[in-house]
């Protein structure tokens, strides 16, 4: 599409407005500037905008399965066994 005196040229034909070109493309009435993404609103013809990546904190080491918790589980259910596993 090229801007020319008297309108816009698209496929070797001059149209008086962007709305006229949108009508020729879709066969239905559209707001031309909105259809071509020159004004706010959704036209369905706009390319999706990529969102910037979200910076996250580095992962923290897991406390599950630590030596202490494994030792406590292996020591048995007695209070003395659990107490010795934590030393």
* pLDDT score of 83 more than 70: no
Per-residue pLDDT band at 82 (split at 50, 70, 90): low
How confident is the model over 27-74, as pLDDT tens digits? 988 898 888 888 765 545 555 566 777 777 777 776 665 555 555 555
CA gap 47, 58 in Å, rounded: 32
pTM of this prediction?
Answer: 0.45
- Determine how β-strand 13-15 pairs with β-strand 7-10: antiparallel
CA gap 18, 45 in Å, rounded: 14
């Amino acid at each position: 599409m090229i801007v020319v005196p008297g309108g816009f040229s698209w496929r070797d034909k001059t149209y008086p407005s962007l709305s006229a070109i949108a009508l020729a493309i879709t066969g239905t009435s559209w707001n031309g500037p909105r259809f071509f993404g020159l004004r706010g609103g959704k036209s369905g013809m706009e390319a999706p905008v990529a969102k910037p990546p979200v910076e996250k904190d580095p992962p923290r080491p897991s406390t599950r399965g630590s030596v202490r918790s494994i030792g406590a589980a292996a020591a048995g259910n007695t209070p003395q066994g659990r107490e010795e596993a934590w030393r």
